[in-house]
A and B are shown apart, each in its own frame.
Chain A
């Protein structure tokens, strides 16, 4: 086993031990970080690996959250089925929206992802009878077999670890390598015989599936879903997490999510000027550590998995 895998195993063991602290706060924060870590990694499949800046990734997270919660509460669908349906619907909607978005490039691509995400947000916001509109969709219970915070934490840990395991396999596969050539040089990639748009679309879909899985976890975790999670600042936040942690490292976005959520929780208990602090931090980071935290660490300790 490689050094990187040993470190990961150790890390997972530590996470398994987390509830032993018997701190509700850490279990809560741990669950939150795991969910957003998966969300940010799913975005980074597009951002860091394929070179597509999606500005509407909250869409798939939100679709996952609403799908799972609505199916459970309104249609009494069993949790495992509702959960799977959330991932599937996330993938299907990403396929449809992606089909249009990948026709454009660069800033036009980003704007189109934003436009679609605002359409989906508006639907959730206005469709009172289904989603509860602005008041949100509340009272979603934990599934029976996961009826405590600690159990739900373990479930989240299992799902996120499994998802990251699969995603890591994908980025280190031939398919993943072709995605990086598209990031580096889409024109040249065409001339090695690759149907670039098709690869971008598949990446978009995979990304949507895992974002929706993260969203489904999040909805149940909060026992409620609000249209806010579909609004554009949510898309911006996950972008910031990825950039903060480092987009050229597989686990960079997880690190970014962990730091952002932890620091935000600390800072907001002292001051309400969190966005100002975040803004300055981000500007500082982009100037002095453009590779994010993991990019910086990787430069110092080359052993930290230089997989691009």
Chain B
């Protein structure tokens, strides 16, 4: 198991956001986490990546206990993430965004007297090509269109060469066509690199077409978990989730 979540709980001022969630993800799987707005998906991501401390429970990554560790350590162990709202370095160029992440990953960030331009040109270029931003390398990233910024975020996450990639609504705000293209790209990268993927997504068609396993979160509890077929036919899921016409 690459990721283990055991009886994790989190509340904010008495509101229980995550109420004893347990699941585990085997290496190499493409998993999705779905649930209506406010179900606790982003909170769960924040707990796994160390953004928030959990109140109870245990988190493991490749059998290493990561409960309570800070984000940068969890990232170094091999957990990459992207955010629901775009989260880039807006005044830097597209190239510099990715290069910074490569520098951090390769342990060169404490180099003081050598020009940064001489570092990882090729590696950075490769990632840019992979996420389809090769021709925008020298643009100031904050001036990119929303869709491209999302792709850049994915590139930043990939630059840390994670084994487990958590993507929080990687296609939020995209058109149907863009959504399909982006998810195809993500699935392709995941397979080629042998990554494990956990993502959240609102487009059910996308979720059911690329996921090998689906987990359904509702009011802070996991109400279903399994292969797409099982989840689709689960009566509770149909009642609380699909029945609402999402």
Chain A positions near chain B (C-beta within 8 angstroms): 166, 169-170, 172-178, 180-181, 184-185, 187-196, 199, 248, 308
Inter-subunit contact A192/B111 (CB<8 Å): no
**CA–CA, A190 and B101, complex, Å:** 10
**CA–CA, A208 and B117, complex, Å:** 27
Contact digits for B101-143, partner A, Cβ 8 Å, 1 yes 0 no: 1011100111111111101000000000000000000000000
- The residue that B115 contacts in the complex, of A172, A196, A199, with Cβ under 8 A, is A172
Chain B positions near chain A (C-beta within 8 angstroms): 49, 70-72, 75-76, 80-81, 83, 87-92, 96, 99-101, 103-105, 108-117, 119, 156-157, 159-160
List, in ascending order, chain A residues with CB within 8 A of B110's CB. Answer: 174-175
List, in ascending order, chain A residues with CB within 8 A of B75's CB. Answer: 190-193
A178's closest neighbor in chain B, by CB?
B109
Nearest 6 interchain pairs by C-beta: A184-B89, A193-B75, A190-B71, A192-B101, A174-B111, A192-B104
Inter-subunit contact B49/A177 (CB<8 Å): no
Assuming the A-B contacts A192-B156, A193-B76, are A173 and B92 also in contact, with contact meaning beta carbons closer than 8 angstroms in the complex? no
29 A-B contacts, Cβ less than 8 Å apart?
A: A166-B113, A170-B113, A172-B116, A173-B113, A173-B115, A174-B103, A174-B108, A174-B111, A177-B99, A178-B100, A178-B109, A180-B100, A181-B100, A185-B90, A187-B87, A188-B83, A188-B89, A190-B75, A192-B105, A192-B159, A193-B72, A193-B76, A193-B101, A193-B104, A195-B72, A196-B72, A199-B109, A308-B91, A308-B92
B87's closest neighbor in chain A, by CB?
A188
Assuming the A-B contacts A172-B116, A194-B109, are A177 and B91 also in contact, with contact meaning beta carbons closer than 8 angstroms in the complex? no
List, in ascending order, chain B residues with CB within 8 A of A173's CB. Answer: 111-116
Inter-subunit contact B72/A177 (CB<8 Å): no
**Given A169-B112, A188-B83, A192-B75, 15 more contacts at CB 8 Å?**
A172-B117, A173-B112, A173-B113, A173-B114, A174-B109, A175-B110, A177-B96, A180-B91, A181-B89, A181-B92, A181-B100, A191-B71, A193-B75, A193-B101, A193-B104
A188's closest neighbor in chain B, by CB?
B87
